[in-house]
Amino acid sequence: MCNYLIILFYFILVACGKSTLHNAQSTPPPKDEQKLATTVEQEDVSADLEREAPVQEDGRTTEVLIGASDGVNIPTDVIFAVDTSGSMKEETEKLEETLPAFIEVLSNTFPDQSFQMFMLAGEKDIDVTLTNPDQRYHIKGDYAVDSTNALEIIYDFVNDPSNQCAAGQITDEGCIRANSRKEIVVVSDDGSDYTATEFKGLIDNHDFFAGLTSVNGFVGTSVNNDNQWCSIEEVGDTYLELASALPSVGLVQHLCDENYTNLLANLSDSIIKKSFKSSFELKSSVNQDEPITVELDGTLLDDSEYSVSGNVLTLLSKGIDENQSLTVVYTAN
């Protein structure tokens, strides 16, 4: 009798154990753990997302472009034209001290030879000590800049076929690339022989300038100064007007600011914002005779804020952050 009771008790224990194990496996985890598991799973899925195929509807194509995966940097050629007249001695010395850091920032931001800098200062020795000898800094001593001819000298420099090269090409001597963004920087305490209208007319009709040119400057934004080392001969009205008149907006700052490190940091920030992640390749060539709409995170862009050539869309005023997106609706050729 005792043996039967022991066997019966044994089977009761086994049955209860199986029931307890089953209940433990089927009990859902706490809500916090559920959220964590869901989040991890979503991140894994999003990491594998690829660019969606274009949507075709009623003869129109819609593409969504993501900054992180689709945007590329535009090659950037920075052209400094420095007034080397006698009144610019102190300003030139400040440039010599602060330009190396400016060049280093842009060289690091745009690697693989996508950044170049040209110095037009005639026979004046702008003594810039590079932090890296491989940085593409080119002194062009054949182009002398005086008080008021900076824009004329810049145009002559870019217009000279010996200073031009094809898109993507680069030389040891340095050449202006057909597909690059041209960032003009005038440093002068005087005005300009050109009016803004005259210079804009020149570059609007020039293949190497059109669309991707900005005029920046360290010039007189007023005649009032708080220091003794700097004086303004004439306010740089032409440069101020050109900075906002071109599709690609420039940055003009006061020449007599004491802190040239800050001036150049502001300029490098402005250039980076325009060139970083600002070119996009569409799946098809765009029919320019049909309407094109471009939205940045749902906000419609004016057609003055971008250009389209073939299947390449270029933002003129600024690039986009890696987590932003462009929605482009167009008719394909």
pLDDT in tens, 174-214: 899 988 899 999 999 999 999 999 999 999 888 888 768 99
Q: What is the pLDDT of residue 311?
A: 93
Number of structural domains in the chain: 2
What is the predicted pLDDT for the residue at 155?
95
Tokens read off for 201: 């007319």
**Are both 183 and 300 inside the same structural domain?**
no
- What is the share, in percent, of the chain residues with pLDDT greater than 70? 82
Pairing of strands 176-177, 60-66: unpaired
Sign of the C-alpha dihedral computed for residues 140, 142, 146 and 148 taken in this order: negative
Q: How far apart are CA 220 and CA 232, in angstroms?
A: 6
Q: Do 216 and 119 share a structural domain? A: yes
Residue type, 324: Q
Q: Do 268 and 326 have their domain in common? A: no
Q: In 3D, which of 288, 327, 282, 289 has the Cα closest to residue 64?
A: 327
Look-up of token digits 């009771």: 5
CA 74 and chain centroid, separation: 7
Instruction: With a cut of 50, say whether residue 56 has pLDDT above it.
Output: yes
Residue 17 included in any domain: no
pLDDT at 207: 83
**CATH number reported for the structural domain that contains residue 98 in this entry:** 3.40.50
Residue that wins the pLDDT comparison between 248 and 225: 248
Does 243 score more than 80 pLDDT? yes
Instruction: Give the max Cα distance, the chain.
Output: 122
Let me know the angle formed at the C-alpha of 318 by 187 and 102, rounded to the nearest 5 degrees.
40
Indicate the pTM of the whole model.
0.77
Same structural domain, 297 and 269:
no
Confidence of residue 125 (pLDDT cuts 50, 70, 90): low
Amino acid identity at 267: L
pLDDT band per the 50, 70, 90 thresholds, residue 228: confident
Question: Where a domain ends, among 248, 275, 302?
Answer: 275
Residue 89 lies in a domain: yes
Cβ–Cβ < 8 Å for 177, 170? yes
Strand locations in 209-311, DSSP E?
213-219, 252-254, 279-281, 293-296, 299-300, 306-309
Which structural domain range is residue 115 located in? 76-275
pLDDT digits (tens, 9 = 90+) for 160-185: 999 999 887 888 888 999 888 999 99
Band of residue 226 on the pLDDT scale cut at 50, 70, 90: low
Residue 287 backbone phi and psi in degrees, to 5 = -80, 110
Residue 309 has pLDDT above 60, yes or no: yes
